């Protein structure tokens, strides 16, 4: 996938393993339950997408803008968020998954 802008759609429970979304613009996509192991979202701009219950092992969001998306139930220790722009909700979810008690 190169130079693609995807607006909307239901991609839930799809196999997106090893897909390269780097540098893409993704907006309003339902990825619920998708297998995204080893996918690359580096430097992507992602808005209003639902990553609930996705398999994100070895998935990279390196230097991406991931504010305003829904994430839950993933292994934070194997997902690369280095340099990503994230909102406070994702930071709290990640901290909670790593064992922090949030007050």
pLDDT in tens, 34-49: 999 999 999 999 999 9
Higher pLDDT, 23 or 100: 23
**Is the per-residue pLDDT at 27 higher than 60?**
yes
**Is the per-residue pLDDT at 54 higher than 70?**
yes
Q: What is the mean pLDDT of the chain?
A: 90
pLDDT of residue 4: 63
Q: What is the DSSP letter of 76?
A: G
- Residue 53, Ramachandran bin (φ over 0: left; ψ between -120 and 50: alpha; else beta): left
pTM of the entire predicted model:
0.87
pLDDT of residue 13: 97
Q: Which H/E stretch holds residue 89?
A: helix 88-97
Do residues 36 and 11 touch, judged by C-beta distance below 8 A?
A: no
């Amino acid at each position: 996938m190169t130079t693609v802008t995807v607006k909307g759609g239901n991609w839930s429970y799809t196999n997106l393993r090893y897909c390269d979304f780097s540098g893409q613009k993704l907006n309003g996509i339902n990825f619920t339950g998708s297998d995204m192991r080893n996918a690359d979202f580096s430097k992507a701009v992602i808005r209003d997408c639902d990553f609930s219950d996705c398999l994100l092992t070895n998935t990279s969001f390196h230097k991406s803008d991931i504010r305003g998306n829904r994430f839950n139930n993933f292994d934070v220790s194997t997902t690369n968020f280095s340099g990503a722009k994230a909102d406070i909700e994702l930071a709290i979810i990640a901290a909670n998954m790593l064992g922090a008690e949030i007050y």
